[in-house]
Every structure is written in C-alpha cells, then in structure tokens.
Amino acid sequence: MQQTNTPVTINFHFDPLCPLAWRTALWVREVHNVRPVNITWRLFSLEIVNRKEGTEPDYIGYGWIALRTLALARRQHGNEAVEKLYVALGNAQHGRKESIREQATVEACAKEAGLGDTFVQQALDDKTTIQDVIADHEEAVKRYHAFGVPTIAFENSNVGYYGPIINTAPQGDEVGELWDYTAWALKNPNLFELKRDRAQAQWGPVSAN
C-alpha cells in the first residue's frame, strides 16, 4: 500500500461513552503525527440511536451531560478544546472506569481540560447545546448514513465509514499503515464492508498517553 501524503481533513464522529470510538480516536490522534491528516471532532448520540419509539428524551441522562459540554466547548473554544475534553472524558470513562454519566465526573474532566469549575453547569443551563448535538448527529445520519461510532469521512465527501474497529491502538509504522488502508477504503466507491468476528478481541481499560 502506497503511503498517503496528500493533506486531508477528516470528520470524526464520536460519542464519548463508546469504547470502540475511543480506541479509534487514540489511533487517529497518532495518525495526525505521521500523516498530513487534520481531525475535526464531531458529535454523535448513541442514546438517540437506541431510544425506543415513544420514549421521552432525557437530555441529562445517558451521555448527554458529556455531549452537551463538548458542544459548548466547541462553540466557545473551538476544535482543539473538544479534543482536550474528549481525551479527559475518555481517560475517565475508558481508562479509570469513572462514569461520565455523572455530572461530577464530567466537571472534573472539564476542569482538567482547562474549561473551569462551572463550565458543565453552563452547558446544561444552555438548552441550545442540545440542538448542537442533534445537528451533528443528524448531519452524520443524513450525509453518511451513519448508524454508530466511530464514523470517519473526508471533510468534502458524502461517504463515511463505520470504523476501523480496533481493540489496541497501533504502534510505530502500523499507525500510518492502517491510515493508508483506511484512506484507500474511503476513496473506493466499490468497497462497502469488511468485517471479522470480535470474539477473540481484548477490551480492557485504555487511556491516552
């Protein structure tokens, strides 16, 4: 596989509760260091996907506290702030096994990301953060036919892929190699699915370096 050196920007849709998206995010952050790939962090709600018809939405339950805080971080501080907060949330949820469904955990993560002590409550008091999350989610569904996370797409493309799903983030040359294959798949209109059984995968705690 030829190395991909063309500068690109990708949209990376995630729900911070999802352990699969978290592992892929750790890899994508390393890709940025070895390939000319910039990442735009976009939101996606697994609660919306799994919500039963007729059920009233709970915009402070499930992962909504974290999602709404991420939405406000982007609005006020930009894409870099989203990444910093996502890393803090991911380390808490998927590394230390601290539930980010709890407001106190998200508040600690926001403080770690440099957003201050009252930022989470500000996000919850602002109802427009709900619409920000829904807008990202609906764009992924309509534009890429997304059904889960991680969903990755080139910025100017209407084609997105679910995955790659990895149980351990690649190291060394494998970081760039996996990206080269992924970039090829994103560009290939004839490839739709490549999958194998996950039964042997190990899904232990994992944190960002």
Please report, for the domain that includes residue 173, its CATH number: 3.40.30.10
pTM: 0.94
Query: For 5-14, 156-165, 189-198, which range has the lowest pLDDT when averaged over its residues?
Result: 189-198
For residue 166 the two structure tokens come to 């990895």
Residue holding tokens 């939101």? 43
> In this structure, are residues 39 and 12 in contact, taking their beta carbons and an 8 Å threshold?
yes
| Span 1-33, pLDDT tens digits | 677 778 999 999 999 999 999 999 999 999 999
Gap between the Cα atoms of 136 and 12, Å rounded: 11
Instruction: Give the chain's domain count.
Output: 1
On whether residue 196 sits in a domain, the answer given is no
Give the number of other CB atoms < 10 A from CB of residue 156: 8
154 part of a folded domain: yes
At 73-106, the pLDDT tens digits run 999 999 999 999 999 999 999 999 999 999 999 9
Whether residue 85 lies inside any domain: the answer is yes
Given a cut of 80, whether residue 202 has pLDDT beyond it is no
CA dihedral 172, 175, 177, 183 (to 10 degrees): -160
Residue 192 lies inside a defined structural domain of this protein: no
Distance CA 136, CA 76 (A): 16
State how far the Cα of 147 lies from the Cα of 48, in Å rounded to an integer: 10
